[in-house]
Structures are given as C-alpha cells and as structure tokens.
Chain A
Amino acid sequence: MNKEELIIETENLQKKYITDTVETTALAGVDLKIKKGEFVAIMGPSGCGKSTLLNILGMLDSPSSGAFRFLGQDISKATERQRAKLRKENLGFVFQSFNLIDELTVEENIALPLAYLGVSKADTEKKAREAMERMGIAHRRNHFPQQLSGGQQQRAAIARATVSNPSLILADEPTGNLDSVHGREVMSLLSELNEAGTTVVMVTHSPSDAEYAHRIVNLFDGQIVTENLNVRRHATELL
C-alpha cells in the first residue's frame, strides 16, 4: 500500500474516559488505515466505541494516546486552531440527528461552512445551489429545518457536509432515524459522492447500509476484531 494514498492512519489509538469513580476504556488500541477514495463502514455493538473513534477521526475529540495521521500530518501534535482549520477545509459531518440549526433556513444551513471558509457571496450562492440540487432539496431552500421531513433534513445535512468539497465525509448512523426508503436514498447519495472521489467513513448498525461500503471494520470493546472487504461491492466494481 502506497503511503501517499492514505488519508487516515492510526496506530494504537486509545481513548479513556475518566469520570469521578470509574475509568472507561472506549478505544483500546485501534490501528486503522484508510485510503483516499475508500468507503469504510464501522460496525459493532452499542458502546463498543464507534462514535468515539469517528469523533477522533473527525478531530472533534482527541485520543488519550496513540498516533493519528491525517493526510500524512501528525494530528496528535496539532493545536486546537490547526485542527479547526483542517476540519473546515477537509471534513464534512453527517450525524444521526440534530444536524441542522433551527434558526437558519435550509439554504443558510448549507451555506454555513462556506461562510466560515470566507468564500465570496457569489461563489457561496452558486455552490450552495449546486449542493441543494445534487441532494434534490432546492425547492425547500427557504424552509426551516422543522418544516422538513426526517429524510429531507438528512439530505440537507449531506448537502451541507459536501458543499465545501471535503476530501473526507464522516457519517455517524446517518440512517438511524429514517425509514428504509429514506435510508436507501441517503445511502445512495453517499455512494454517489464516494464514486465522485470523496472518502467516506460511516458508522452503522445496519448490515444493508454496510453493503454500500468497500470495507467493513468491526469494533468490539474498543478494538478492531475483523476487517472485511465487501466482496459484492468489489465484484461489481470489477465488472
């Protein structure tokens, strides 16, 4: 495996939570390599550390120990400011719920990352429109989040996660709150993005969602137990 192609590389990543009395080990030495352009699904029982891992990969949280390299850059030594910069320039997030700001319209929500990137007004409008059209919610641009269905909200969230053309999208149970129809819709959108070149790392409980990924990482008690290539997906690709 060529090192240049790696977007994420962790070595013996550990995360411990220390509360008043108990110490919880959420991650107990995770070694994970993710190549550019990959679609990786992380699975495992509740409480095994999936969200913790994803948050560390997304630089929202920092590991207790271990190495984490993003695009070859050592993150463990990065300051909060540098991480915020890497985050806004390279990453897009989709969560299970609580994705949108209630006080902003769909369009404003989607344009928000561009505002923080300092993109010009004209560019912002153009990019936001493109993202909305891609996700099929352009007709709802002036609505507020509460006025949308769950599926529409999630599409808006994906539009926002992708509006700044991030190289990596992190999704934590993106279909968790959706029915199967809307869930499939969201998954195919993520798939399309991946095909267009974006790396996707997704946490899921749903085996059918995991089917969309190239590779499935199984986590148990904070450790990777198995890594499977998704044969069917590779097979279709080979065709």
Chain B
Amino acid sequence: MVQHYLKSTWRNLTRNKVYTAINVVGLAIGVASCLLIFLYVQHELSYDKAFTKHDRIYRVVNNLIVGDDVEKASITHAALAPGLAGDYPEIEAATRMIDWNKKVLRLEEKALSIDHVFFVDSNYFDLFDYKLLEGNPKTALTEPNTMVISEEVAGKFFANPLDAMFSTLQIGGDSYKITGILRAVDAAHMKPNVLISLNSLPAELRERFKSNWFSTNSYTYILLRQPDLANALQAKLPDFVERRVAPARGDTKERVELYLQPLTYIHLNSDYLWEAFPVGNKSYIYIFSFVGIFILLIASINYMNLATARSVKRAREVGLRKVVGASRPQLIAQFLSESVLLTLLSLLIALVFVELLLPSFNSLTEKQIPSTYFTNPTLLLLIIGIGIFIGLVAGSYPALVLSHFRPVDILKSDKTPQGGGAMLRKALVVLQFTISLVLIIGTVVVYSQMHYLKKQDLGFTKEQVLVIDIPSGDSAIVSKMPVIKAELLRNPAITKVATAGMIPGEETGVIIFNVERDGKMTEKTMNTIWVDYDYFDLMGIPVKKGRNFSKDMPTDLDNGFIINEAAAKALGWTDNPIGKRIGGSDTTSGRVIGMTEDFNYKSLHSQIEPLVIMLAPENSGSLLARISPGHFSETMTYVESTWQRLAPTHPLDYTFLDDSFNQQYRAEEKMLTIFGYFAGLTILIACMGLFGLASFMAEQRTKEIGIRKVLGSSVSDIVLLLTKDFALLVLVAIVLACPIAWYGMDKWLQDFAYRTQISAWIFILSGLAALALAILTVSYKATRAALTDPVLALRSE
C-alpha cells in the first residue's frame, strides 16, 4: 500500500509540473527563510553557552547612584573581584578584564592596529574555557609581559597562525611574549583579540587596584561553586557594600549597588553602559521569529490552496478509488502521505538553499553561524519533525475535503463539488497578502525613519570631517599634536583642526558635578566631553550665550565650563547660566562661561541630555580635520604622509564623522536590510501561490471562456473577468493590512525621540505595488487562457 501511495504521489507530482514546482519551490523558499531565521535566533540565544561553566559564571555590575541619577555601569572597581573572592567561599574564582581598547601591535617592521585588547587575571581561562590551539590555559597568563592572542590576529602576522607561539610583539615600548593562541568564540558577549597578563602592569599599580573603590575600570566575572548559589549571594551583596565598599569610599555621596548578571543573560538583556561590545536586541529576536513563522505560514497556505483548488481535478480519482473499495481513512492516508512527501522534498531543497545562502546571510547579519548546526542530530530530527508537521497540517484540509466527496456526486456528472473550499481559499489569500503587506509597509516605514534620522539637523556639521584616532597612552604622539595640527593646516584643503576626547556618537564620560542651584551647591550627574579651543568652530556648534574657551583666559583650563541648553534647563538656569558655579570636587572657583545650542552628541533615539564640556587641549582621543570638498585623494595623501612623518610609530587610523556617527544606526540598518529581504520573499511566495491558483482557475473555466468567446467576448473582457476576483482579494488585504501596519509601526517609532511622520503615501504605494504585482501575476495566466482558440477549448471538454 505504501509503495502504491508513493507511486501515485510521484505520478501526480510529475504530471502537474507547474503545480509541483510552485508548491515545492515555494515551500522550500519559505522553509529556507524560516531555517535561516531559526539559525539566527538560535545563534543569538546561544551567546556564551560555548563556555562549559556558563551556568555558574556571573558578571558583577554596579549601579552608581547620586540622588535620583542612576548610572548603570558594567565596569566595576578593580578591587571588586579580589574582594568578593576573598569574602565568599561560594565563589570559586573571580576574574577581571580591563579594556585597553585599540593598540598597535608590532612585529619587527610590521605594525597593525588591533582592537579589543584586554588585560586579564591569570585565572581567566578557569572561567572562560576557550580552546587554546597552542599553550597551556593554566599557565599562559601568569607571567608578566605574556599574552594570548586569537588565531585571527596571529594570522595577520604569520602565514601559519600557530607559528606566532613564543614570538614577541611590541605594544608601545613594551614587549609581550605570545604564550597561547585561542580559537575565538563568535557567540560570546566578549570577543577579545588579545589577552594580556594583568601581571604585566606595574606591581604598585596592581597593589593599588586592591583598594581602589573610586574609579571603575574592570569587568568583573565570578565563578560560583553551584549555579543555584546566585540568589543567596545576591542577597549578601548589600552587606558587602556596607562593610567593604562604603567605608573605603569615605564620604562620597555616590552610593554603589552591586548586581549579579548570569553570563548567558548579558547579550540580549543587559542595559548597562560601557559594554566593550554592542549587545543584542531582544525585540529583533521576537520580530524575526514572527517573520519566520509568517513566511512558513504563507508558504503552507500556498500548499493548502493549491491542493484544494486541485481537488476539483482529483475528485474523480477519489470517487473511483472509493467505488473500488478505498475507505476514507485510506484516502486520508494517501493524501497526507502525498503532502508529507512533498514537504520533505521541499525540506531537502530548503536545506540546500540554506547551505548556499548561509555565507551571504552571515555577512548580512555579521554573524558566523556555522552550517554544522545541520549535522546536529537533534536539530536534524527537529527539522524533519517540522517538515512532517507542516505536511500534515497543510495536507489535512485537502485530505479531509477530498476524502469526504461522495462518489455518486462525482461520478454522476462531470461537475465537481465545490464545497466550502473556495471561500476558505479566498480567506487564506487575503491572509497571505495582509501579512506580506504589513511586512512591506513596515520595511518602508523603517526605511523612511532611517532616512529621516540621517538627514536630521544634528546641531553640528557632520559632513567633511576627518576623524583621526590619537593613540591613547602614546605620550610621544600626544605631545606632537600641536605640530601635527599646524602641519595639517598648511594644506589649503584642510580648513580647521581640533581635538576632542569623544566625538558625537561615542559614549561620553559621566561625572558627578557640584552645581549651584537656588544658591546652594548640590550634586548632579551629567554627561561630559573634553575638547580643545577649536572644537566648536570646527563642528559648527554655535555658542549661544557667554563665550567659547579662549587661550587668553588661562583659568578656562581648570575653571571654565561650557554647558548645553539642555543642561541649563535641567539645572533651572533659565535666565542666565553664565557665571553659575560648577565643578567636580573643587566647588569654589569653577564657573559656567558659555552655553551652546543643543546638538545631538548621542543617537537620535534619545532626546538631547544635559552636557558639560570641559577644556582639555592635551587630552588624547580624536584629531578632527575639516576638509573642503574636492581634491579628496590629494588631501588624504597629504594627511597620510604628514602623519607618517610626525608619528611613525603608529599607523594612521581614521574614519569620517558622518560615517562613524551613522554607525549607531548600523544595527538598525542591518536589520532593515534583512527584514526587507524577507518581506520581499513573502510577497514573492504569495504571488507564486496566486499564480498557481490563477492557473487552476483558468483551467477550470476553459469551457466558460470558450463559450464567452464564441458569443463575442473580447480578450480584455475575459482577462478582466478572471482578474477582478483576485484583485478584490488583494484590496481586502490592503484594507486589513493598513491599520495593523500603522499600529505596529507607530509603536516602533515611539522608541525614537526624533521620528518621521508615517505618510499615507507609504500605504497607498505599498498597496498599489502589491495590487499591481497580483494583477500582473493573474492576468498573465488569464491572458493566455483568453487567447486560446475557443474551438479547442470546447472540444477538450
């Protein structure tokens, strides 16, 4: 019997090639998209799970609280790790990571700028069991001036990465021996390139770390003896602060609260500042999961629709099978096995699609999702299970309807029972197009919002500004800054130069200020940046009240503060902020000397927050140069050679301000691209289904078309007749999709402080596009049907 089913299934599939192709390929595209999304979601959810002790590892983070201001910081005091490990026996080990950012690594003549360099405690690998291709994890980080580098970094210096072992690289003036080469973990919230033994730091500095409860510089991770000890330990942390932290901090008004974050929770859930790597976004996981399910749903609907439409043709077969003795369960089994076979075939094709598309998908998502997922037997079983499930669900309606036909009804005449199938089919087409349209409108709204953000007036001129990285800690280069600036200005294309601690788009500093409010000094935590004399001029930020920093006023260096308008408002200095008292710990001589107009120094997600700008011309960070349009490559050559001449130890490392500012929207733009692809796919699959339905409809109505033509209908009359039903369905979908999309996108836009208007045009154009596509699909079929010779059509009956 099974063999019989397989044979008749195969015949049915090969007999109806268009139908089979639409079903199998459509479903395969749907399943492949769904699988890619599934892999993506699984990858996001698997962060840090590669570390075998992940369930016992926690990160300790701190809330730094002054009055109502809470700064949630992921970096903690260097004294925290040793302090906790010493006090609580349930902590098996505690380790620190200190971010050294980007450094130039040098091997003989070869110098490369490598980011994500960290100092770590020697027990680092006890927690994070990276696979070391070379070296002993127990001892690799114990000696001073040793480091473990990633395979990738090793590969940049050596043809064979493993040859890097035991060679010595220079950073700044110091040498570090490579004592291990690690294989990077992509799904990890920390992806260090270089791990330097913390013992390389001077002994007296390390000693000071033990009692440093003032400045935060370390990511702190602890390994518990049992995973379930976390809650109990969390409950003890307030006491720890009371006993160990608060007394050491003396009379600062800033309170510290400590919290434990499970390691695997960080990537998608942490909302703490100063992460070394951007964290993920949980809502994207939800959105993508929904999109995946929708795509699968749309493809499954195609299957159901085409199968029920085709049931008209297969009714006779069903009738005859019943007459010769088939029972209803046998028929149901036949149709279900046909359906499952078809989905399994699609699945196979889908797996091939995924395998082919994964590299592009990875570069799109900037992930390294391995295709080895498919060799995982549980996943494979799951996929097959899903395939069978889709087959059963998608095949169940046709199976039940078809097996229900009564042979007398079918055999008596050529007429086939229509049943409720037609109505359901229409409803499903409407559902498909509604979903597709919501996704398309969503994509367009997201796109227009991104566009809106990019063309927003930021309050500064971000175009044509070159941003050169000043190597922090390289005092030789920092001291040469005035010379470099002067040299750059000699080129007529470079109109302005300045230095700044942070550029817009980067995270700012956060400082507790003492400020004058209603005649009293109070504490207020505010964002801070450090700039030089030329910053405002170069950026085009107007100083609205008071004055800019001036070289003629030596007191500006320590006592001059410029605030933004938002700060003036927040502090209640509405009439005139100039001359108000402000300062760090010294509260006597600091004064506000100027107030700028508000400018967007953070992303446009948020409203402009209060900002205090301090003068620090010697501070490293970035060197900014405004260049005039045109002669770009000559100018860059000049910059390059100047830099090479004056700062030969450090390769020129530059970006452009507009690029780096737009980096903040990268995550969103990336999602937008992916989302756009998937939205496109849904409409493609929906149209494939429509094409299939139109084919059957044309086939079913061949006789009617023939008679109409004999009676004098024109081709266009007939095309219109056949197309208008489908067009109506799409119109209904448009009516349904618009409010849903509007509601969803309005909600999404709420996340932005600056948001575009959702224009009615988006709805009209998306709707028209979908309608046009649907009409094109159907009328292609309808025209072919209408053009057939009527005699032929009638004879075939």
Chain A residues in the interface with B (C-beta under 8 A): 51, 55, 58, 60-61, 80-81, 84, 87-89, 93, 95, 98-104, 108, 112-113, 115-118, 160, 164
Contact = CB atoms under 8 A, between A and B. Distances in A.
B325 A51 contact: no
B406 interface: yes
Give the 5 A-B CB pairs with smallest separation, nearest first: A88-B325, A116-B325, A113-B324, A103-B11, A61-B408
Given A103-B11, A103-B317, A113 B325 contact: yes
Contacts of B326: 116
A99 B320 contact: yes
Contact of A101 (B321, B330, B412): B321
A142 B323 CA distance: 22
B123 to A, nearest CB: 70
Contacts of A108: 7
A81 B327 contact: yes
8 contacts: A60-B322, A60-B411, A81-B327, A98-B414, A112-B321, A112-B324, A116-B321, A164-B325
B327 A84 contact: yes
B52 interface: no
B4 A51 contact: no
Q: Which of A88, A93, A115, A164 has the largest count of B CB atoms less than 10 A from its CB?
A: A115
A51 B412 contact: yes
Q: Which of B15, B320, B326, B327 has the largest count of A CB atoms less than 10 A from its CB?
A: B320
B495 interface: no
B553 interface: no
A60 B408 contact: yes
A84 B326 CA distance: 8
Contacts of A104: 8, 11
Contact of A60 (B4, B328, B330, B406): B406
B317 A115 contact: no
Contact of B8 (A51, A88, A89, A103): A103
Contacts of B324: 88, 93, 112-113, 116, 160
A59 to B, nearest CB: 10
Interface of B: 1, 4, 7-8, 11-12, 15, 316-317, 320-328, 330, 406-408, 411-412, 414
Contact of A116 (B330, B407, B411, B412): B330
A180 to B, nearest CB: 24
A70 B316 CA distance: 27
B4 A115 contact: yes
Contacts of B7: 108
Given A60-B323, A112-B321, 4 more contacts: A55-B412, A60-B411, A81-B327, A115-B1
Nearest to A121: B3
Contacts of B406: 60-61
A103 B4 CA distance: 12
A115 B325 CA distance: 9
Nearest to A81: B327
A13 to B, nearest CB: 15
Contacts of A98: 316, 320, 411, 414
A60 B407 contact: yes
A227 B326 CA distance: 35
A181 B373 CA distance: 68
A164 B323 CA distance: 13
A60 B12 CA distance: 26
Nearest to A56: B408
A93 B327 contact: no
A9 B322 CA distance: 24
Contact of A87 (B4, B317, B325, B330): B325
B325 A101 contact: no
B321 to A, nearest CB: 7
Contacts of B330: 116
A108 B11 CA distance: 12
A191 B325 CA distance: 24
A21 to B, nearest CB: 19
Contacts of A102: 15, 317
B701 to A, nearest CB: 20
B326 to A, nearest CB: 5
A100 B1 contact: no
Contacts of A81: 327
Contacts of B408: 55, 60-61
Nearest to A58: B323
Contacts of A113: 324-325
Given A81-B327, A116-B326, A116-B330, A101 B15 contact: no
Q: Which of A60, A117, A160 has the largest count of B CB atoms less than 10 A from its CB?
A: A60
Nearest to B313: A102
A73 B11 CA distance: 40
A93 B12 contact: no
Q: Which of B12, B324, B330, B412 has the largest count of A CB atoms less than 10 A from its CB?
A: B324
Contacts of B317: 101-103
Contacts of B316: 98, 101
B687 to A, nearest CB: 28
A214 B744 CA distance: 78
Contacts of A87: 323, 325
Given A84-B325, A116-B325, A103 B12 contact: yes
A97 to B, nearest CB: 9
A118 to B, nearest CB: 8
B224 to A, nearest CB: 64
